[in-house]
Amino acid sequence: MAVEKFVALDRVSVKYPNAQNWALDWVSMSVPQFAKVGIIGNSDAGKTTFCQLLAGIIPEMIHARIEGQLQIDRNDTKQQPSVGYVFQDPESQMSGLAETVADEIAFGLINAGFSELEIDQRVKHVAKELELTSILHQSPTEISGGQQQRLALATVLVVEPDILILDNPTSQMDPQGKAWLFEHLATLKKQTIFLVSDEIDLLCEFADYLGVFAQGKLLAFDTPAHVINQADQNHWPMALPTVYQFAKALSKTMAGTYRYPVTLGRLKRVMHNDDD
Ligand SMILES: Nc1ncnc2c1ncn2[C@@H]1O[C@H](COP(=O)(O)OP(=O)(O)OP(=O)(O)O)[C@@H](O)[C@H]1O
């Protein structure tokens, strides 16, 4: 699949010091600007390594041997695109210095030298977007895990990065909170987003492209419908979306293909014989 590239990996491999195996093994992909990329894979598949490489944490903060080429283009951004990274564990995101949620969100802006007025406006805006307004004056250590994950995202979104990398950002949220966050992320139009999650139903609704990792290798990178149908045919050990299973049970393929749909909208069209 040829796509206009913004982020491109060309046969990238990563090995940690003293490790026997490559944590990333010969990974290639091209991602256009503003695309939404879902990343899935079992434990130890290399998902976090992939995210940390994209974010520059490897090799800047975590040493590892890197082979191949990672390229992030400027495209319409005048400067080198900025990257925001949301850690798997929200506590890792916190400065540990802020007394309130508001201060924590403001932290990056203060360091970057923004004016007080701009900081105030941005903090209020992102707090409203992420439904944190009512807890702005609470301590970051005294809020729930789900709230901490929304706060971790707020600290990154407030600086308006060009690329947003989220490593399992809903692991501590309830089902409603997860669905809400995925829907919110889908509304972000100014960022290219990489989202690691095992929420396959939500991921298929969200993503333009889905990447499946296993033992450091990128098994597939394509539209969610292509990847899921391929995963099922090849018996890859991964959960399949509910919509897909339903369509398969009813033998409802997408028009002109032998593939089953993976999103509710597409399934509805197929069911109403309204698929193009
Ligand atoms: N800092 C590190 N030093 C050495 N080895 C590491 C380091 N981080 C990860 N690894 C190893 O690299 C491999 C890939 O790990 P990674 O955390 O990228 O996988 P993952 O798919 O994110 O896993 P999980 O879903 O369990 O978080 C694993 O074998 C892991 O033990």
- pLDDT, one tens digit per residue, over 157-172 is 999 999 999 999 999 9
Best residue among 15, 49, 212 to mutate for probing ligand 1's pocket (most ligand atoms within 8 Å of CB) is 49
| pLDDT computed for residue 4 by the predictor | 64
CB 180 near ligand 1, within 6 Å: no
The residues with which 193 forms a beta bridge, in sequence order, are 36, 164
Per-residue model confidence as pLDDT tens digits over 19-36: 999 999 999 999 999 999
pLDDT beyond 90 at 150 = yes
Cα 240 to middle of ligand 1, angstroms: 24
CB 45 near ligand 1, within 6 Å: yes
Question: What is the 8-class DSSP label of residue 46?
Answer: S
CB 62 near ligand 1, within 6 Å: yes
So what's the ipTM on this one?
0.98
Q: CA-to-CA distance for 195 and 156, rounded, in angstroms?
A: 14
- pTM, whole model, 2 decimals? 0.95
- Let me know: does 223 contact 38? Beta carbons within 8 Å: no
CB 16 near ligand 1, within 6 Å: yes
- Number of CB atoms found within 10 A of residue 183's CB: 12
Beta strands in 32-119 (DSSP E): 36-41, 65-72, 83-86
Q: CA-to-CA distance for 170 and 87, rounded, in angstroms?
A: 11
Cα 53 to middle of ligand 1, angstroms: 12
Position in ligand 1 atom list of the atom nearest CA 52:
18
Local confidence band at 93 (pLDDT 50, 70, 90 cut-offs) = confident
| pLDDT computed for residue 105 by the predictor | 97
